[in-house]
Structures are given as C-alpha cells and as structure tokens.
C-alpha cells in the first residue's frame, strides 16, 4: 500500500495514525478543516485544508494522488455534552457530511474504507465486557451519530452501484497517551475526558471531579477501557495491511466491525490511583453526578482484533499517563503557556 487518505488527520488520533503509517513506509494524505486539528501536526506531510463534504476538493486530491488505495475516516465532532446541547450540528457534521464523503469515494473508485467508530454505542452489559456482537444502544447524540454511520456504511456496501465498496469499522474504546516520539498528541491542553482532566488538575492544582459515583461497578465510578493511542494507531495500520484478508473483494459480506481496546476494564477511581502513582502526588478528588450523556461504560473483548489483524495492545496505563504528561509539557512550551 502506497498512499492512504486520512480525514481528520490533523487531530489527536488521525495524526497518530498518520505517523504510524509513515513509520511503515506508507504515505498519508491528510484532509482536515483545522476546526480542531492543528496545522503543526501536518508539517512536512501532504495536507489539504477543507471539508470532507467538498466533492471538488476530493476530486482534486485523487487527481493529484491517483495512487491512494484506501481511506481512513477519523474526522468527527466528539464532545458528548456539546452533542447534547447541539444535536443538529453533530448530525450534520458526523452523519450528513460523511454521506457526502462516501459518495465521493465511491465515484472516485476508492473501495477500501476504515471507519472510526466508538464503544460508546454499546448497551450496558451485566459485567461491562462487550464483544462485536453485543447489543448497541447509543445514549447521546454523539454516540448515535456513530451508530447511525455504522448502519449507513453497512447498507452502503450492499447498495446498488456499491458492489466493490468494503468497510472495516474500528470501535475505539478510550484513547490515552500520545505518540511516543512526541510528534503529535492531544491538541487541547484542557480536554474534557478523564485523563485530560487529571493532567489539568495535577498541573493547576484544581480539584478533579469523579462524575458519577453510583454506577453498578466495583467502586461506583464509571468503567472504561483505556487504550494507548499508539496501539490504536497500529491497529489502523494492521487493518489497512490486512484489508483484503479481512474483507475480500468478493466476500458476501463486505462490512466488518472490530473492537480496539486493551481487554481490561479500569474504573475512574482506579485511573485516579494509577495517575497519582505515576506522578507521585495525591490530587484533590471530589464527586458529582454524571454529566449529560454519560454512561456506565464498558471494556473490550479484543479476540477479533487479535485473530483478524494479528494485533494486540502493547502499552499499559502507566505508559499512557507518562506519554500524555510528556506531550503536555512539550505542547505547553511550544504554545508558550
């Protein structure tokens, strides 16, 4: 594989995927509108600034890079509380524009698509463990956009005129850390997810709030599967390199879902403890009710990724915390804050 289009390739996950591809000798072609992504993350990379729904721009990209062999679709709005407040915005950005993108990819003959989905679409299970066959029941507008797009993509591979279209959907769990070489990382110094809030609390002395303490877990806090973003990126590389094995061109079913997590559940309280051990200091920890759209959470069964992709996670929470802290220090110095 020579070149791969990455939408959202100037963001946290997309830029790490781009770096992982470069490390394997594959050239990423990045499309990003920079609404959240950073221009610094695409320095010395092939980059087009624009919207995934811009058909003319897609025509230009493929005309200038006819050797693109697949597309990785990472571009999306991802903040759960914002999606609750602005549902139409999320449906437009994540669903309607993706449909326009798929229309362009089909017209341009790009038959392999890797889609960034989310474990947030899973329905709660008694033991919080989920595999690809577990029921889905998205609980926020953000999560519902991912669930909707999964259905759109599956239907797309079966529709008239789409006989050659194939899709691998990767259901992400909870990415942490940064590119271990610190080429890119979280572009927001104060992100809304748990590890970001822990780093903010440690850096500023502000309290850290556990949102939701009455969930049916071993300590009452939500449970998550914290996967290092570099492991997640390497799962994308594996999906691209094994694409034709996972979804053959003549397969009866040309749509495949694969979980990408660690296979272990970590509660928010356990994450706090791990973070405190990593930094050698205690935080001011407080409790509050769940935020709008919050769910109990889940963790992944990763047998499918191991069997189909030959992939398994290699980095733990301690390494994720260390890389996240190192990145934040570097990024804050670069931004001068």
Q: Which residues does the annotation mark as catalytic?
A: 142
Closest CA to 171 of 227, 134, 224, 117: 117
Q: How far apart are the first and last CA of the chain?
A: 40
Using DSSP, how many helices (H) and how many strands (E) does the chain show? Answer: 12, 15
d(CA 42, CA 10): 6
Location of structure tokens 């009455």: 214
Spatial CB neighbours of 257, under 8 Å, sequence gap ≥ 6: 117, 132, 150, 169, 171
Does residue 101 contact residue 7 with C-beta atoms inside 8 Å?
yes
Strand partners of residue 162: none
Closest CA to 282 of 189, 197, 198: 198
Spatial CB neighbours of 194, under 8 Å, sequence gap ≥ 6: 174, 224, 268, 271
Strand partners of residue 300: 130
Per DSSP, helices labelled H in the chain are 12-23, 55-64, 80-85, 87-90, 97-107, 141-156, 194-204, 229-241, 243-246, 268-279, 303-304, 317-335
d(CA 1, CA 68): 8
């Amino acid at each position: 594989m020579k070149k791969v289009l990455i939408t959202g390739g100037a963001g946290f996950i997309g830029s790490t995927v781009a770096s992982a591809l470069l490390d394997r000798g594959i050239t990423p072609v990045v499309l990003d509108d920079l609404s959240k992504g950073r221009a610094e993350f695409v320095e010395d990379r092939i980059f087009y600034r624009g919207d995934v729904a811009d058909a003319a721009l897609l025509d230009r990209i493929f005309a200038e890079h006819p050797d693109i062999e697949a597309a990785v679709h990472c571009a999306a709005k991802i903040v759960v509380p914002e999606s609750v407040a602005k549902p139409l915005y999320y449906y437009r950005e994540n669903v309607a524009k993706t449909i326009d993108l798929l229309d362009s990819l089909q017209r341009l003959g790009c038959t392999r698509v890797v889609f960034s989905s989310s474990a947030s679409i899973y329905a709660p299970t008694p033991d919080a463990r989920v595999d690809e066959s577990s029921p889905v029941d998205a609980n926020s507008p953000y999560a519902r956009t991912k669930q909707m797009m999964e259905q759109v993509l599956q239907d797309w591979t079966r529709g008239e005129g789409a006989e050659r279209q194939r899709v691998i959907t990767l259901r992400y769990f909870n990415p942490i850390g940064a590119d271990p070489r610190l080429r890119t990382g979280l572009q927001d110094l104060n992100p809304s997810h748990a590890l970001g809030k822990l780093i903010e609390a440690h850096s500023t002395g502000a309290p850290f709030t556990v949102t939701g303490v009455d969930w049916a877990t071993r300590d009452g806090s939500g449970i998550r599967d914290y996967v290092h973003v570099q492991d997640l990126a390497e799962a994308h590389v594996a999906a691209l390199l094994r694409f034709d094995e996972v979804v053959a061109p003549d397969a009866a079913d040309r749509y495949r879902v694969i979980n990408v997590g660690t296979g272990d559940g970590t509660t928010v309280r356990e994450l706090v403890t791990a973070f405190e051990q990593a930094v050698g200091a205690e935080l001011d920890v407080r409790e509050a009710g769940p935020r709008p759209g919050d769910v109990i959470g889940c963790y992944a069964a990763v047998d499918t990724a191991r069997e189909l992709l030959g992939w398994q996670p290699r980095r733990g929470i301690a390494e994720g915390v260390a890389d996240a802290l190192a990145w934040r220090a570097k990024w804050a110095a670069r931004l001068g804050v």
